[in-house]
Amino acid sequence: MSKFLEEYTKRTPTSGKEAARAQAIIPGGVGSAIQFWPPYPLFVDNSEGAYVWDLDGNKYIDYSMCYAAMISGHANPIVTKAIQEQAEKGVLFGLSGTVATDLAEEIQRRYPSMEMMRFTQSGVEATMNAVRLARAATEKMGVIKCEGMYHGASDTLLVSCGVPSNTPAGPGWMPSPHVESAGIPAGSTDHTYVVQFNHIESLEYCLNKHAGEIACFIIEPCMTNGGVIPPDPGYLDAVRELTIKHNVLLIFDEVKVGCRLAMGGAAELYNIKPDIVTLAKAIGGGTPLGAFGGRRDLMSLISPLGPSIHFGTYNANPLTTAAGLACLKEVMTEEATKRINELGKKYAAGLEAIINKLGLPACVTHEGPLGGIQFVPEKPHTYRQANQGNKAMWTEYWYGMLSKGVIPMGSGWFEEYSISVAHTEEDINETLNITEDVLATVKKNLM
């Protein structure tokens, strides 16, 4: 057992006990597989701002921030107050109020391309409904996605999200689709085609090969599920041009990057007008809220206006939309958005300096407040390149940081650190000091 892993288990005996109790009744003892890591994950007692405390009372500076959902920081008082005030008036009516419209107007101010939108409970529902809408609008079934990108666990999109290094996946520019889960009917993925991010010829080849069959190209404009890999200059412009030329709808999945890289997310930062945008995470202030929206003519196909179904008892519920409205209007102001982007740059520069000083075969990839250490010597531009990373080094880094009171990112090499409005310069400096110690040990043990 590595010394870091030994330290981790020594510090967290109560999490270990609680994991055993949970595992007897909940698969893996966790709500979602990503939340599991061996021998057991942390079990949390409480949280505030940039910190969480585990059941043994250990404090952690948190950079996972629930896989980038907690942009407003844990237990943000403004968001908490909005939830409390709404709860006192009622949490669910099955009838419309005013809050969802207020939030839709705020989102539209940030994303002018979302001429109309609908709310969901999660990112997966947002992307699933966006794809259904694209298919309804075009009367075509083909969906193109990028290798390594995760758009939520719906059948059509659960293809080539993470391709194990030992799986034959075809040439990089023409990846073979890899279905991620048992239990998915072949028909659901038969029309899902996979291309390489940042490789425009890969998309062009696929569009030509399946000419006339494709409804949409769904893409994270900045990849966040292969480490954080920004688009190469000109790539997204070429994507927009090609999709227009082939009459294919362009869906920007901004579930992770939305309302974060800029007020209007990636669409604003990269100055691209997609046909449909999907959002979640930041827009709910940490509560389960997603949205999909786009051109009025497309959204007018949604029931009761048109034939594309989008149902849900909890859709646009008062509680989550109130939390989202408080988060976007009062917490994620222009100033706050600028601040987390600046802090993100400072953190990335600090990590880069440590890597250079130690001479580690690693690099930092980042965009604004999101980023991560990739254990490959050259900055990756594609999922294939990122997937070459040294997983043993990443694992040692992960347990090293945990054992010293930092959750450095989401729990997988392909996740990211996420800086929230609650993180401070002091947090960043403290984290950089800890990182330098941990990476020095990683180097000593694994190089």
Ligand X SMILES: Cc1ncc(COP(=O)(O)O)c(C=O)c1O
The binder of ligand X chosen from 122, 188, 388, 441 (CB under 6 A): 122
What interhelical angle do 425-446 and 334-358 show, nearest 10? Answer: 30
Name the helix (H) or strand (E) containing 374: strand 370-374
Q: Which of 67, 281, 347, 417 is catalytic?
A: 281
281 in active site? yes
Q: Is 72 in the site for ligand X (CB under 6 A)?
A: no
Q: Is 145 in the site for ligand X (CB under 6 A)?
A: no
What is the distance between the alpha carbons of residues 255 and 282, in angstroms, rounded to a whole number?
A: 8
The rounded radius of gyration (Å) of the Cα atoms in the chain is 21
Is residue 43 within 8 A of residue 393, CB to CB? The reply is: no
Q: Is 415 in the site for ligand X (CB under 6 A)?
A: no
436 residue type, one letter: E
Q: Which of residues 236-275 bind ligand X (CB under 6 A)?
A: 253, 255-256
Q: Which of residues 27-46 bind ligand X (CB under 6 A)?
A: none
Nearer to ligand X by C-beta: 265 or 344? 265
CB of 362 to ligand X, least distance (A): 23
Q: Is 383 in the site for ligand X (CB under 6 A)?
A: no
Nearer to ligand X by C-beta: 253 or 427? 253
Nearer to ligand X by C-beta: 13 or 27? 27
Nearest Cα to 228, choosing from 100, 68, 109, 110?
68
What is the distance between the alpha carbons of residues 210 and 42, in angstroms, rounded to a whole number?
A: 46
Is residue 274 within 8 A of residue 268, CB to CB? The reply is: no
Question: How would you label 247-278 residue by residue, b for 16+ Cβ within 10 Å and e otherwise?
Answer: ebbbbbbbbbbbbbbbbbbbbbbbebebbbbb
Q: Is 235 in the site for ligand X (CB under 6 A)?
A: no
Q: Which of 150, 193, 347, 397 is catalytic?
A: 150
Q: Is 67 in the site for ligand X (CB under 6 A)?
A: yes
Q: Is 151 in the site for ligand X (CB under 6 A)?
A: yes
The binder of ligand X chosen from 86, 196, 225, 420 (CB under 6 A): 225
CB of 152 to ligand X, least distance (A): 3
CB of 415 to ligand X, least distance (A): 9
What is the distance between the alpha carbons of residues 389 and 146, in angstroms, rounded to a whole number?
A: 19
Task: From residue 319, give the alpha-carbon distance in Å to each of 67, 97, 108.
Answer: 21, 11, 20
150 in active site? yes
CB of 120 to ligand X, least distance (A): 9
What is the distance between the alpha carbons of residues 220 and 384, in angstroms, rounded to a whole number?
A: 16
What is the distance between the alpha carbons of residues 291 and 107, in angstroms, rounded to a whole number?
A: 9
Nearest Cα to 262, choosing from 364, 367, 419, 415?
367
Nearer to ligand X by C-beta: 13 or 31? 31
Nearer to ligand X by C-beta: 8 or 111? 111
Q: Is 343 in the site for ligand X (CB under 6 A)?
A: no
CB of 418 to ligand X, least distance (A): 11
Is residue 257 within 8 A of residue 370, CB to CB? The reply is: yes
What is the distance between the alpha carbons of residues 105 and 218, in angstroms, rounded to a whole number?
A: 24
The binder of ligand X chosen from 8, 150, 252, 292 (CB under 6 A): 150
Q: Which of residues 80-109 bind ligand X (CB under 6 A)?
A: none
Nearer to ligand X by C-beta: 150 or 394? 150
Q: Is 124 in the site for ligand X (CB under 6 A)?
A: yes
Beta bridge partners of 194: 145
The binder of ligand X chosen from 29, 41, 152, 369 (CB under 6 A): 152
Nearer to ligand X by C-beta: 61 or 68? 68
Catalytic residues: 150, 253, 281
Residues forming contacts to ligand X in the complex (CB under 6 A) are 67, 122-124, 127, 150-152, 220, 224-225, 253, 255-256, 280, 290
